[in-house]
C-alpha cells in the first residue's frame, strides 16, 4: 500500500462499549439485539477489551497533555496523510474501516502519547551525540520502479542521454510511462520527504538516496524486494551542525522511544497509574493488570493500549513499493 498506512494498519475497530441499556441496536425477524446484550458480548472479546484500554488511555492522556496538542498539529498531520494518498485517500480510509473523523482522533491520540513519552524521556548529551552520527536531513526524492535490472538500466541510459537542463523533466516523463508504481507514476514518481528515522522505505532505497546530491539520480539500478529502482534526488539539504539540529535530534530520540516496546510499555504504565483508573465492571477488573500491577512484565506490549504509537512504527508497504 502506501507510506502512511502504518498508522492506519494498527487501528482497532472502535466498538461502543459504553452502551448498556435495553435499546435495540438491531432488529431481526428472530428478535432484537439490545445494547446490553451487545455490550456483554463485546466486552468478553479481545477487540472489545482493546478498545476499552485505548479509551481509558485516551481519557488520561487528554487530561494530562491535552493542552499540549493543538488542533492545527492534528490538521497538519491529517493533511500530510491526505496528500500522500492523493485521489485514493477515501478508498484507503474505507478499506481500513475509518472515516476522516476517526483518523483525526487517532492522530490526536498518537500525538498525546508522544507528549507522554517526551515527558518521561530524560535525554542526555551522550544520546544526542549518538543520534547525530545517524542523522540525515529530510530529503525529497522521486523514483521509477521496474521489474528487471535491464529495464532500470534502460531508464538510466535515457537519463544519461538527456541534456543537463532536461534531466528532471525526462525523469518525470519516464516515471509516467515506465514506472510500475501506479500510485506515484502520474506525479513523476515523487515520494513524501523522509529522513534517517524512516521505516517505510527499504534500507537499500534509503542508503542509495542519502548518497545523492540535489539534481542527481542513481548511477546504477537499486535492488529492493519489489524490483529495481531508479532514484532522483529532488532536494537534499545540507546536514548542518549538531547544534543547529538539536531539536530534531531530541525529537528523533523521542520517536525512537515511542517505537521501543519496553519503553513505551513503561510510559503507559506510569501514565495510567497517575490517572487513578478504576474499573467498575467486575468482568473487566483485570483489563489493565499488565500495566498497573507491580509484577507486570515490561515486555508485554501486545495490548492496543499502546496501539496508537506502535502502529505508527510498524512497517507497511510503501508508496515507493520499497517495503523491506
The most confident of 13-27, 39-53, 141-155, by mean pLDDT: 141-155
* pLDDT reported for residue 20: 57
| pLDDT tens digits for range 278-291 | 999 999 999 999 99
Computed over its alpha carbons, how large is the radius of gyration of the chain? 23
Q: What is the mean pLDDT of residues 164-190?
A: 95
At residue 227, the 3 state secondary structure works out as strand
Considering the segment(s) 136-235 as one domain, its CATH architecture is Roll (3.10)
Q: Which residue has the higher pLDDT, 89 or 241?
A: 241
CA–CA distance, 72 with 87 (Å, rounded to integer): 23
pLDDT band at 21 (very low <50, low <70, confident <90, very high): low
Which residue, 78, 67, 324, is CA-closest to 206?
Answer: 324
* pLDDT reported for residue 301: 38
Share the mean pLDDT of the chain: 86
Q: What is the mean pLDDT of residues 150-177?
A: 97
pLDDT band at 12 (very low <50, low <70, confident <90, very high): very low
| pLDDT tens digits for range 163-173 | 999 999 999 99
Residue 322 has a CB neighbour count (10 Å cut-off) of: 27
Length of the chain equals: 324
58-62, 156-160, 164-168, 295-299, range with the lowest pLDDT: 295-299
CA–CA distance, 75 with 67 (Å, rounded to integer): 16
77 touches 111 (CB < 8 A): yes
pLDDT at 74 over 90: yes
Q: Which residue has the higher pLDDT, 104 or 305?
A: 104
Percent of the chain scoring above 70 in pLDDT: 84
Q: Quote the longest CA-to-CA distance of the chain.
A: 74
| pLDDT tens digits for range 201-228 | 999 999 999 999 999 999 999 999 999 9
pLDDT band at 92 (very low <50, low <70, confident <90, very high): confident
Q: Which residue has the higher pLDDT, 3 or 132?
A: 132
* pLDDT reported for residue 324: 41
Amino acid at each position: 500500500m502506501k507510506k502512511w498506512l502504518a498508522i492506519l494498519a494498527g487501528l482497532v475497530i472502535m466498538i461502543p462499549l459504553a452502551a448498556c441499556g435495553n435499546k435495540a441496536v438491531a432488529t431481526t425477524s428472530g428478535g432484537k439485539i439490545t445494547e446490553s446484550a451487545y455490550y456483554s458480548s463485546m466486552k468478553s472479546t479481545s477487540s472489545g477489551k482493546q478498545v476499552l484500554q485505548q479509551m481509558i488511555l485516551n481519557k488520561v492522556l487528554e487530561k494530562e497533555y491535552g493542552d499540549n496538542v493543538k488542533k492545527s498539529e492534528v490538521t497538519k498531520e491529517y493533511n500530510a496523510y491526505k496528500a500522500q494518498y492523493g485521489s485514493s485517500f477515501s478508498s484507503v480510509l474505507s478499506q481500513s474501516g475509518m472515516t476522516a473523523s476517526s483518523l483525526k482522533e487517532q492522530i490526536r491520540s498518537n500525538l498525546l502519547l508522544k507528549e507522554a513519552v517526551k515527558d518521561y524521556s530524560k535525554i542526555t548529551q551522550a544520546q544526542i551525540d549518538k543520534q547525530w552520527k545517524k542523522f540525515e536531513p529530510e530529503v525529497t526524492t522521486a523514483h521509477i520502479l521496474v521489474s528487471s535490472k535491464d529495464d532500470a538500466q534502460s531508464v538510466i541510459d535515457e537519463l544519461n542521454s538527456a541534456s543537463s537542463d532536461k534531466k528532471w523533466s525526462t525523469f518525470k516523463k519516464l516515471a509516467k510511462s515506465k514506472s510500475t508504481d501506479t500510485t506515484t507514476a502520474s506525479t513523476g514518481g515523487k515520494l513524501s520527504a523522509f529522513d534517517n528515522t524512516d521505516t517505510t522505505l527499504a534500507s537499500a532505497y534509503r542508503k542509495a538516496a542519502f548518497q545523492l546530491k540535489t539534481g542527481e539520480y542513481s548511477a546504477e539500478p537499486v535492488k529492493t524486494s519489489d524490483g529495481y529502482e531508479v532514484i532522483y534526488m529532488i532536494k537534499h539539504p545540507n546536514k548542518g551542525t549538531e547544534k543547529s539540529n538539536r531539536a530534531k535530534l531530541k525529537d528523533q530520540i523521542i520517536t525512537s522511544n515511542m517505537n521501543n516496546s519496553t519503553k513505551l510499555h513503561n510510559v503507559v504504565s506510569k501514565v495510567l497509574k497517575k490517572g487513578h483508573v478504576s474499573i467498575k465492571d467486575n468482568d473487566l477488573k483485570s483489563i489493565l493488570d499488565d500495566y498497573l500491577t507491580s509484577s507486570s512484565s515490561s515486555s508485554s506490549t501486545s495490548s492496543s493500549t499502546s496501539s496508537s504509537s506502535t502502529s505508527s512504527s510498524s512497517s507497511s508497504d510503501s508508496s515507493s513499493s520499497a517495503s523491506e
